Structure 1
Amino acid sequence: MEAKRKTCVITLFDEEAKAISYHHVPQDLVAAAIAKSASVDVPLEDFDNQVNDDFARRLGGMILMILAGRSPFLKSHLSLTTEAGRDASGPSSEPHARPPETGKRSWWGKKP
């Protein structure tokens, strides 16, 4: 059986249309852009190789938070709850709040 062409999903937020779009693109067509970009790696072994509902929720939430970091409109409409129960759309209202101690990948809420 021949291996299929590697692909990736590009996620965009269009400020004008107020829409999130996903593009399924052959990886070799965007290889130069990938080489020049920062990556956020999520080792599946950190989640016992389980790609389940909780993993999908966290991955989707992370992607939305990344997009919202560049979009004032999307950020103002983001309403996600983190593991600690804090609203992920902005900073905590507590004056000396610290993020929860959750291990090396705290943005995932992965417990040590």
Structure 2
Amino acid sequence: MATHPPYSVVLSYDEHQQKFSVQTADPAKLVPLLAGKLDMPILLDEFDYRIDDEFARRLGVAMLNLLALGKPDLKQYMSVTPRPVTREGDQR
């Protein structure tokens, strides 16, 4: 298996080409660019340290909603459930 240096992931939406772009970046180089910007911590203990399908769905919905705040045209394509989806046997 290939090893990778630590990196951050950047998600962008280009409304002219109507496409998402996912890029990797050196976290140290992002620090000055992100100073004073919105910081939304997502604490794993609030999810019982479970990175499962529901966690991924909610993270994706949050990312799409954040992108849509800055790119309002994206909202017309979105049809996602903003709240947790209850599953049979789920105790949360």
TM-score by length of structure 1 reads 0.67
Between the two proteins, the alignment pairs up a number of residues equal to: 83
**C-alpha RMSD of the superposition:** 1.9
2:62 matched residue in structure 1: 62
**What is the 5 A alignment of 1:73-112?**
73-83=73-83
Q: Which runs of 5+ in 2 are unaligned?
A: 86-91
The Cα of 1:76 is off from its aligned counterpart by 1.2
Tell me: higher relative CO, structure 1 or 2? Use CA pairs within 8 A at least 6 residues apart.
2
Flag as ranges the 4+ runs of structure 1 deviating above 3 A: none
**What is the 5 A alignment of 1:37-56?**
37-56=37-56
CA distance in 2, matches of 1:18, 1:78: 13
Q: Which runs of 5+ in 1 are unaligned?
A: 86-110
TM-score by length of structure 2 reads 0.80
Identity %: 28
